[in-house]
Amino acid sequence: MFVLPDGLPPCRFLSRGPVRVWVSDEFPQDVEMLWPRLLSKQRAHALVPLLCWPAAMGKSLSLDHADAVRLDEVLAAGFAEYRRSRLPFWTDPTPAPVPEGIESWPHDPGPPFGQWPGLAPEMPLASEGPTPEEAASSLLAGLIETGQFGLDECRLVLVPAHRSSDALALIGWSAEAPLPLLCALLRSWEDRFGAQVVALFGSELHVSVARPPVEAEHASLLALEHVLSTADNIVDDPPTPFPEYAMDLVGRTSWSFWWD
């Protein structure tokens, strides 16, 4: 059992394999006020807060699986296969057939790389920028303000972990995502961009970003990492040309992913 912060709502404990997690009984109506306090105590208590559907939690995955991922090698192999399968579409500007009355999808020229270009560089700390904790709280407030679909079905979950990227493995997130690869990516994004996992709605993942890329060249490298996460919404749903998706990442302080 772990030591809990004060002022938490009614809860229960759930076992996910060898890991026990704290889960609120309801969606906390004061979560927007509670969230910054939980983040400020995350180091002291080694508890990562998430908003998550309880049904989306499965059996805990050992962090050894994420440790074993050699990210640069895996992404290089993934890009080679992705490029092989997509190159015919990138090089043929003929619009794909669509049903009558439906606007044709824009042509996607694909990433401007002939081979794996390597990871996007780390963004430096800036005194005027938000901290990762502030960025996470801002994303949470935005999800609440916009009435994000599925949010009210979430529960506040506290996971015994030191990094939000590891919390996904420890709760056994049951989406179709390749969990070891995703956790390795999230660890790297946490280090390079101050990324934090905030919410999980079924197969949908919302991530805050404290230090997003500010140059188009770096955003293009990052966009390729997003593509290689295997998420179904990246450039495919809705169909979005790679250069357009990449440019949208410049200065963007939240990322979302989903898997079928």
pLDDT digits (tens, 9 = 90+) for 146-197: 988 888 899 999 999 989 999 999 999 978 899 999 999 999 999 999 999 9
pLDDT digits (tens, 9 = 90+) for 223-232: 999 999 999 9
Cα 52 to Cα 111: distance, rounded to the nearest angstrom: 33
State residue 62's pLDDT score.
Answer: 92
Query: Which of 39-43, 87-91, 210-214, 228-232 is the least confident region?
Result: 39-43
The whole-number pLDDT of residue 109 equals: 93
Residue 74: which residues within 8 A CB-CB, separation 6 or more? Answer: 181, 184
Residues 205 and 197: beta-carbon distance below 8 Å: yes
Please give the average per-residue pLDDT across 12-16, as a whole number: 82
- Mean pLDDT of the region 59-85: 95
Residue 208 and residue 182: Cα distance in Å, rounded?
15
> Looking at residue 153, what is its pLDDT?
92
Assigned token pair, 189:
């994004």
Counts for the chain of helices (H) and strands (E), in that order = 9, 7
Tell me how crowded residue 253 is: count the other CB atoms within 10 A of its CB: 21
DSSP 8-state class, residue 211: S
Structure-block tokens of residue 248: 């949208």
Q: Are 206 and 256 in contact (CB under 8 A)?
A: yes
Please report, for residues 133, 227, 230, the alpha-carbon distance to residue 113 in angstroms, rounded to integers and kept in the order given. 34, 13, 18
Nearest residue to 136 (alpha-carbon basis) of 21, 54, 254? 254
- pLDDT, averaged across the chain: 91
pLDDT at 10: 82
State the pLDDT at residue 149. 85
Model confidence at 239, pLDDT cuts 50, 70, 90, reads confident
Residue 47: what pLDDT? 92
Distances (CA, A) of 43 to 40, 103, 162, 163: 7, 50, 7, 9
Residue of 157, 196, 155, 159 whose CA lies nearest to 61:
159
Q: How confident is the model at residue 125 (pLDDT cuts 50, 70, 90)?
A: confident
Q: Which of 50, 79, 99, 37 is nearest to 242 (CA)?
A: 79
SS percent in the chain: helix, strand, coil, step 5 = 40, 20, 45
pTM of the predicted model as reported, rounded to 2 decimal places = 0.93
- pLDDT exceeds cutoff 60 at 1: no
User: Mean of the pLDDT values across residues 196-221?
Assistant: 95
Sort 190 into a burial class: Cβ within 10 Å, 0-12 / 13-18 / 19+.
buried
Tell me the C-alpha distance between 128 and 195, whole Å: 17
What single-letter amino acid sits at 151? L
Task: Provide the pLDDT for residue 106.
Answer: 85
Whether the pLDDT of residue 6 is over 70: the answer is: yes
pLDDT above 60 (res 4): yes
